[in-house]
Amino acid sequence: MAPQDITMFVNRDRAERIARQSIKSAERFHIQHGVVRWADGTVDRGYRVAINDLEGKTLRYL
């Protein structure tokens, strides 16, 4: 999978709503709680959404 930007959602409900709108047939989504630590020492916390195929292989992130 190629590198890409990943959106971190502050609210789990919002992450789920956007994920449901973004998936195609034969895809599923998985919401993960994530933490990003930046080089300058700041930390972002939130939820990220992985879009998977029916076999569980990650296709992309929102």
Q: Model confidence over 24-40: pLDDT tens digits? A: 999 999 999 988 888 89
Q: Are 34 and 12 in contact (CB under 8 A)?
A: no
Residue-level pLDDT at 8: 84
- Tokens 């990650």 -> residue: 58
Structure tokens of 52? 């998977």
Residue-level pLDDT at 6: 76
pLDDT digits (tens, 9 = 90+) for 38-58: 889 999 899 999 999 999 999
pLDDT digits (tens, 9 = 90+) for 2-12: 666 778 888 99
Residue-level pLDDT at 31: 95
Residue 37 lies in a domain: yes
Residue 7 lies in a domain: no
Residue 50 lies in a domain: yes
Q: Tell me which residue range forms the domain holding 32.
A: 12-61
Residue 53 lies in a domain: yes
Number of domains in the chain: 1
Residue 6 lies in a domain: no
Q: Which residues, listed in sequence order, are joined to residue 52 by a DSSP beta bridge?
A: 28, 58
DSSP secondary-structure letter at 25?
T
Residue 47 lies in a domain: yes
Residue 3 lies in a domain: no
